[in-house]
Amino acid sequence: MAGLILLLLLGFPGTALSQGTVVVNPGMDVTALSQNAIRSIFGMRLRNWPDQQPIRVFVLPDQHPVHEEFSKQVLNIFPNQLRRAWDRLVYSGTGQAPIQVETEQEMLEKVASTPGAIGYLSGDWLADTVKPVRID
């Protein structure tokens, strides 16, 4: 019984990383971001890093399981709401949508090779070519 309670409190194995781990280009001097900063970055409202380097946001397709979990669990918004917010920015001419990649492999490659890049990966795809970011 105690083991079951511990599993419920800690989550089942693998669920913590299934929501997506925020990762940045390894050249970035970022180790942690606030929840508000993450929401502002992925909401395309925060456009530059503190050093004024442009933020390049990469996301998976709206229907991708990692994107759905990341949106709901980390950003606290449904993927369709996030898409509508991006569309409003684009159609109003006040902003742009993030760069969409098709797979986690492509996400890993793009974030690793693009200065100022940020994205997210499931635990299975974390590699030392990108830097994980803690959310405070």
Query: Would you list the DSSP string of 111-133?
Result: HHHSTTEEEEE-GGG--TTSEE-
Q: Hunting for tokens 């369709």 — which residue is that?
A: 80
Give pTM, 2 decimals. 0.83
Q: Tell me the pLDDT tens digit for each residue of 13-41.
A: 333 344 679 999 999 999 999 999 999 99
Contact 57, 41 (CB under 8 A): yes
Residue 66: name the closest of 8, 125, 131 by CA: 125
Please give the pLDDT value at position 127: 80
Contact 53, 116 (CB under 8 A): yes
Q: Tell me the pLDDT tens digit for each residue of 52-103.
A: 999 999 999 999 999 999 999 999 999 999 999 999 999 999 999 999 999 9
User: 126: pLDDT confidence band, cut at 50, 70 and 90?
Assistant: confident
* Domains of the chain and CATH, by start: 14-135 (3.40.190.10)
